[in-house]
Chains A and B, each alone.
Chain A
Amino acid sequence: MRLLAALSGGVDSAVAAALAVEAGHEVTAVHLALSAAPATLRTGSRGCCSKEDARDASRVADVLGIPFYVWDFADRFRADVIDNFVAEYAAGRTPNPCLRCNEKIKFAAVLDRALALGFDAVVTGHHARLADGALRRSVDEAKDQSYVLAVLTPVQLAGTVLPLGGLTKAEVRVAAAERGFAVADKPDSHDICFIADGDTAGFLRDRLGPRPGPVVDALTGAVVGGHDGAYGYTIGQRRGLALTVPAPDGRPRYVLSVEPVSRTVTVGPGEALDTTSVRATAPRWLAPRLLPLPCEVQLRAHGAVHACVASEDGSGGWRLELATPARGVAAGQAAVLYEGDRVLASATIA
């Protein structure tokens, strides 16, 4: 096959491209420039498209002896991922930008362009298994990324090759070292690539401006503090609340909900975060099943898996009844249904 390998400059995509070359495919590499003003050097584990990353990617292509290009998707990335990220927080939800980037950039804009240019599929270094249209968890459960790929459609997956799903991260690093890739021991990337300093609240404050409001205790209804912007808070957050009134029972309080219109952040005891009933909208099926369906659900990236029964909610979405309580379920994240290690479907938590 003629394959287009997306090289981030990290170890995973490097080994994925190498495995594609070694399997006999004709591989061309691209590095996606997602920032209009890339930093020169990486800062620790953050950032994903500095010039240093572009150089790391080009060196992998050199070693593999394959063509290498940089594709500028900065405008698309800003419109589809960053602006959406800010808008979602402003609306009181907690978006997952990696999932959004997969859905709108890597397996949409990039894949479309690749297919139009005559490639058969895109190769990425995501940790998940894909065979005969079935998307499954990686054998390395700690590194599994099937959750952030679950939003893809069957058509998108048909144009995707994921060579790494059968390898652990440790095996990927060994494979990189064996092939002489300088990125073999490059740190994993964490956090949000476009927030280089990791200060999400500061990033949002710069874009949304101060929007002060009250912090209210769910048990007493009393105002127990204030904030400069509800968008700075995430469901389940405990630190940095700066409450002026202690809890009556003296126990720690957590963010229970964020209401953007009244700018109210509600806090309360940890148990109040526990829920066994979750609603989700806009489902997408990779492996269609009839509802109601006993299965498993994952409610955030690298989150716990809960046994559940998924049923229709009467308005095109799902109602998920969990066998065990989930803590801190955040609107805007994906609910991904699994059958064992196989992804069945995903929807957006309401």
Chain B
Amino acid sequence: MAYLDHAASTPMLAEAVETMTAALSAALSAAGNASSLHSAGRKARRVVEESREQLAAALGARPSEIVFTGSGTESDNLAVKGIWWARHDADRRRTRVLASAVEHHAVLDAVEWLAGHEGATVDWLEVDEQGRLHPDVLREAIERDPDDVALVTVMWANNEVGTVQPVRRLADIAHEFGIPFHTDAVQALGQLPVDVATSGVDALTLAGHKFGGPLGVGALVLGRDVTCVPLLHGGGQERDVRSGTLDTPAVAGLALAAALAVQRQPGLHARLTGLRDDLVHRVQQAVPDAVLNGAPGRDRLPGNAHFSFPGCEGDSLLLLLDARGVEVSTGSACSAGVARPSHVLLAMGAAEVAARSSLRFSLGHSSTAADVDALLDALPGVVDRARRAALPTLRR
């Protein structure tokens, strides 16, 4: 099997599994609610707080800025809705959300929900053909009326085509006007240097399973001076911003994985860049008309390669590769598993037919040259066959 879908989920790090296994085993003998006042509660709380400190240190943030959540999606929803509500409560003129047109659905649909139910207005900020948001575009959008902007949200790196946004410059522009800036950094952590303090962002989304941690846990790094209305009300955990008993083993697994991912990031970046460049080169040799989507060089996640294969349906390519033990993604899927043309590619100016002919290959910490070899062994025949399958038939 060759797994080239790390952007969807990456294998857990052995260290994170060990930590979680130990924490789960401890739960055999002691119930541990981190909010309880007795000894067992204190033990659980200690695990949570040490994890918080470990994660904060890895990210260049303060422990008080870490809010543990259930997923990257929850973190995005909490940031987008919570900050919008708080800013709107403080000044009713603030209704506008500025978001890039290539956001993940966790941001995109949360923003659309605010527009549909809460009276928010939205400016979807245009990106260029490589998926990059130019700082001038943000500045112009703000300057149209700086007083009505509730927040700016722009992802750190795109989950489909891997384009890295100039987050520092974008955050600086937002701050010139006193507007909070959120970034979805789900794809970035582990692949790129992510430091909250130097990036200048006010809120940053993470998901455990994208960097070797467990599924079902995420975090929102939320600046101490950023007011955020909760989505979940209850026991007042996590700064009163996110009530709910924490999953202690998962939090421990996430924090350790983040620390290791950050520590190993420079080496991984170099290794994945080499593997990815080899993959891109060989795909272009094997399928000369394949189109590489996204940005070149340093503006791209090192593990990402995203191609359109003219004349093919992405669905067909995926099925045929899967049958040959090569696991990839068409880059966008909904809960019913239906591949719709990617809004990211459409925003980059691709035609719908090109958007439907795309595949994402994403590498991560466990990727090897053998994975790339397996892909290239299968790809030429698969592309040929998928092309024939897309031709209108003349049999009837």
* Interface, chain A (partner B; CB < 8 A): 28, 31, 33, 38, 51, 54, 58, 67, 69-72, 74, 108, 112-113, 116-118, 153, 155-156
In the complex, the answer to whether A117 meets B339 with C-beta atoms within 8 Å is no
Cα A211 to Cα B23 with chains together (Å): 71
Contacts of A74 in B (CB 8 A): 338
Contacts of B322 in A (CB 8 A): 67
Contacts of B323 in A (CB 8 A): 28, 67
Number of interface residues of B (CB under 8 A): 22
Contacts of B386 in A (CB 8 A): 117
Cα A72 to Cα B330 with chains together (Å): 13
Known: A113-B389, A116-B388, A117-B385. A72 touches B319 (CB 8 A): no
Which residue in chain B gives the minimum CB-CB distance to A74? B338
Interface centre among B320, B336, B385, B388 (most CB of A within 10 A): B336
In the complex, the answer to whether A72 meets B339 with C-beta atoms within 8 Å is yes
Contacts of B385 in A (CB 8 A): 116-118
Contacts of B389 in A (CB 8 A): 112-113, 116-117
Which residue in chain A gives the minimum CB-CB distance to B392? A112
Cross-interface CB contact of A33 among B318, B338, B395, cutoff 8 Å: B338
Which residue in chain B gives the minimum CB-CB distance to A33? B338
Contacts of A33 in B (CB 8 A): 336-338
Contact with A along B367-396 (1 / 0, CB 8 A): 000000000000000000110111101011
Having A28-B319, A69-B319, one finds 17 other A-B pairs with CB under 8 Å, namely: A33-B337, A38-B338, A54-B337, A58-B337, A67-B323, A70-B338, A72-B339, A112-B393, A113-B389, A116-B385, A116-B390, A117-B319, A117-B320, A117-B385, A117-B389, A155-B396, A156-B396
In the complex, the answer to whether B396 meets A38 with C-beta atoms within 8 Å is no
Main secondary structure of the interface of B (DSSP, over half): helix
Contacts of A54 in B (CB 8 A): 336-337
Contacts of A70 in B (CB 8 A): 336-339
Cα A292 to Cα B150 with chains together (Å): 79
* 4 closest residue pairs by CB, A with B: A116-B389, A70-B337, A112-B393, A54-B336
Which residue in chain A gives the minimum CB-CB distance to B316? A117
Nearest chain B CB to A332's CB is how many angstroms away?
Answer: 21
In the complex, the answer to whether B396 meets A108 with C-beta atoms within 8 Å is yes
Cα A277 to Cα B382 with chains together (Å): 54
Cross-interface CB contact of B395 among A58, A72, A112, A118, cutoff 8 Å: A112
In the complex, the answer to whether A72 meets B396 with C-beta atoms within 8 Å is no
**B93 proximal to A (CB < 8 A):** no
Contact with A along B328-371 (1 / 0, CB 8 A): 00000001111110000000000000000000000000000000
Cα A116 to Cα B319 with chains together (Å): 12
In the complex, the answer to whether A72 meets B338 with C-beta atoms within 8 Å is yes
**B315 proximal to A (CB < 8 A):** yes
Cα A71 to Cα B385 with chains together (Å): 17
Can you name 23 A-B pairs with beta carbons within 8 Å?
A31-B337, A33-B337, A33-B338, A51-B336, A54-B337, A67-B323, A69-B319, A70-B336, A70-B337, A70-B338, A70-B339, A72-B315, A74-B338, A108-B396, A112-B389, A112-B393, A112-B395, A113-B389, A116-B385, A116-B389, A116-B391, A118-B320, A118-B385
Contacts of B337 in A (CB 8 A): 31, 33, 54, 58, 69-70
In the complex, the answer to whether B396 meets A71 with C-beta atoms within 8 Å is no
Contacts of A117 in B (CB 8 A): 316, 319-320, 385-386, 389
Cα A108 to Cα B389 with chains together (Å): 12
Cα A290 to Cα B388 with chains together (Å): 39
Cα A70 to Cα B337 with chains together (Å): 6
Cα A72 to Cα B340 with chains together (Å): 8
In the complex, the answer to whether B315 meets A69 with C-beta atoms within 8 Å is yes
Interface centre among B335, B339, B395 (most CB of A within 10 A): B395
Which residue in chain A gives the minimum CB-CB distance to B339? A72
Interface centre among B323, B338, B339, B386 (most CB of A within 10 A): B338
